[in-house]
Amino acid sequence: MSHPHPELGPPPPLAEGGLRIVPLGGLGEIGRNMSVLEYGGKLLIIDCGVLFPEDHQPGVDLILPDFSVIADRLDDVVGVILTHGHEDHIGAVPYLLRQREDLPLIGSQLTLALVEAKLREHRITPLTLAVAEGRHERFGPFDCEFIAVNHSIPDALAVAVSTPAGVVLHTGDFKMDQLPLDRRITDLRAFARLGEAGVDLFMVDSTNAEVPGFTTSEREIAPVLDRVFGQAERRIIVASFASHVHRVQQVLDAAHAHGRRVALVGRSMVRNMAVAADLGYLKVPEGVLIDARSIDDLPEDRIVLMCTGSQGEPMAALSRMAHRDHQIRVGRGDTVVLASSLIPGNENAVYRVINGLTRLGASVVHQGNARVHVSGHASAGELLYCYNIVRPRNVMPVHGEVRHLVANAELAIATGVPRERVVLAEDGVVVDLVDGVATVVGALPVGYVYVDGASIGELTEADLKDRRILGEEGFISVIVVVDSGTGKVVAGPEIHARGFAEDDTVFDAVRPRIIDALAATAGDGNLDPYALQQIVRRTIGKWVSERFRRRPMIIPVVIEA
């Protein structure tokens, strides 16, 4: 098993006739999935998604893959294949197309429709090619076959990429639900056919590799929703991903069965479901869907609100309801259903929303107390089936945190794939397929690219550290006026604090220390304002640490007079 490590150097030039795979996101995290395949001087991109920020990344809106690795080679890109329409696979497309707007986007009908709706908000008109399962297309040296896979969104595709270097089968996100709502199952016959011909590298979804057995069918959600709707006294509020067409369909069906009307809340929810309905992927029962502005005209026991925010996102509708920052006021007797699984890293945010809603008197139904969601990813039993069907020569686990990638690698090994043929890589680790063997050959520097309002990529880790300090430890400013000739303090120190529990008068005790420290420095002949600022910073920082065991951000200002 090949393990990435910090000592990996830059990769050598790609060997003649070799295929290179560079993951720019999605390996080591759940999100921002993006892989770049290179052959014969041309590049093919598979997916281009975003990662949503965690608590330790305050103020960040989105996290993008690091495009810098291919920034000077965008003219070599022959296509961007999008396996399905979830944000962690398509969300970064607008930011990539800002760098080259005519990059061809390839995907299923629904996937491209969702991308195009998103791109309209960015005023970008893309070049697209709609494909379906069973179709072959050639992009430069890459011959691609598209294969139906079942996931938690319709129209998901796996892709088999053939070059003279070998065949790469990339599953995208998938599971093997045998009774899916749209009756579109993962095409294991195609997997078997490709396996018989020879798959040189199998890139496999790892998200549920630690989960034993088989992922539950989507159909098992319907009876639970039916029971929840039957017991609800007042309004029902269901939170889900804005792209989860199957879950919205089940909510519409349950509402219809119980004589309720459904209003969609949240811009992305309204946009995506309009796209899905227009294309026939969402079947809306007659008279069930209403405008959110008309909910006050109906009795509360006849209303269902379908909204975003199932991951505790601060600006999403459900989070704002929990904090009473939304026009829809949640109260006693309301039922709230969180119809999604927890994405790792979002636990605290979700629990805050659950607690906030419960405090307001709502009954909260979530995955922890009812089967209101099933995963869209294959569990260990399904992955074993796939390995036995495909019998790949090399395996590269993708889409998951390190623990998921390792668990997936062990499954491959258990089915007989030689340990040395299982490539365990992370973002930036370069894998070459040469003469039928996949190996790690180096690593490229790839980092997180933060979207912060209108700023893209300008926010650094140092900035985030400052924000965390401000949020956790507070802020102290110190202003001192000194004589430019003698360094003697002529005014101040004036000290102010924010996010610091104590009153500003507590700083009376440290003012003499600052004056003495500045006098000592000036006595040594050092009148440089920057040096004096550092003396102020160290003096008050040491005192605050000793007295309060805090490490606030300290901004010293020394003014010469």
Residue 553 or residue 4, greater confidence:
553
Across the range 497-502, mean pLDDT stands at 64
- Residue 404: φ, ψ to 5°: -70, -40
pLDDT range class, residue 165, cuts 50, 70, 90: very high
- Delineate the domains of the chain, giving CATH numbers in brackets: 19-214+375-450 (3.60.15.10), 218-365 (3.40.50.10710), 461-560 (3.10.20.580)
Per-residue confidence (pLDDT) for residue 342, from 0 to 100: 63
- pLDDT tens digit string along 510-555? 777 777 777 777 666 666 777 777 777 788 777 777 776 767 777 7
Give the per-residue pLDDT at 535: 76
> What 8-state DSSP symbol labels residue 484?
T
Note the pLDDT of residue 458: 54
- Contact (CB, 8 A) for 23 and 35: yes
Mean residue pLDDT across the chain: 85
For residue 222 the two structure tokens come to: 């319907």
Q: Which of 498, 415, 345, 308 is nearest to 32 (CA)?
A: 345
Asked whether the beta carbons of 47 and 170 are under 8 A apart, the reply is no
Show Cβ contacts of residue 312 under 8 Å, excluding neighbours closer than 6 positions.
318, 319, 346, 348, 349, 350, 351, 352, 353
Counting every residue written for the chain, the total comes to: 561
Q: What phi, psi does 276 have (nearest 5°)?
A: -65, -40
Q: Binning pLDDT at 50, 70 and 90, where does residue 301 land?
A: confident
Per-residue model confidence (pLDDT) at position 401: 92
Position 429 pLDDT exceeds 60: yes
* Report field, pTM of the whole predicted structure over 0.85: no
List, for residues 67-113, the tens digit of each pLDDT value. 999 999 999 999 999 999 998 899 899 999 999 999 999 999 999 99
The average pLDDT across 300-304 equals 89
pLDDT band at 208 (very low <50, low <70, confident <90, very high): very high
Reported for 322-330, long-range contacts at CB under 8 A and 24+ positions apart, including other chains, are 322/352, 322/353, 322/356, 322/357, 322/360, 323/356, 324/360, 328/237, 328/265, 328/295, 330/237, 330/357, 330/360, 330/361, 330/362
Asked whether the predicted pLDDT for residue 435 surpasses 90, the reply is yes
Among residues 104, 53, 121, which one has the least CA distance to residue 272? Answer: 121
Amino acid identity of residue 188, one-letter, is L
- What is the structure's pLDDT at 131? 97
Q: Report whether 548 contacts 502 (CB < 8 A).
A: yes
Can you give the pLDDT at residue 434? 95
Asked if residue 60 has pLDDT above 70, the reply is: no
Report pLDDT for 352. Answer: 82
Task: Give percent above pLDDT 90 in the chain.
Answer: 46
Query: Mean pLDDT throughout 5-33?
Result: 89
Please tell me which residue, 370 or 255, carries the higher pLDDT value. 255
Whether residue 3 is predicted with pLDDT greater than 50 in this model: the reply is no
The radius of gyration computed from the CA coordinates of the chain, to the nearest angstrom, equals: 28
Q: What is the pLDDT of residues 22-49, one digit of tens each?
A: 999 999 888 889 999 999 999 999 999 9
Q: 197-201, 251-255, 422-426, 541-545: lowest mean pLDDT where?
A: 541-545
Give 311's pLDDT tier (boundaries 50, 70, 90): low
DSSP track, 290-301? E-GGGGGGS-GG
**Beta strand ranges found along 362-460 (DSSP E):** 363-365, 395-398, 429-434, 437-443, 449-452, 455-456
The pLDDT score that the predictor gives to residue 313 is 61
Tell how strand 437-443 and strand 429-434 pair up: antiparallel
3-state helix, strand, coil in the chain (%, to 5): 35, 25, 40
Give pLDDT, residue 221.
85
Provide mean pLDDT across the span 465-474.
56
* pLDDT tens for each residue of 215-242: 988 888 888 888 988 888 888 988 888 8
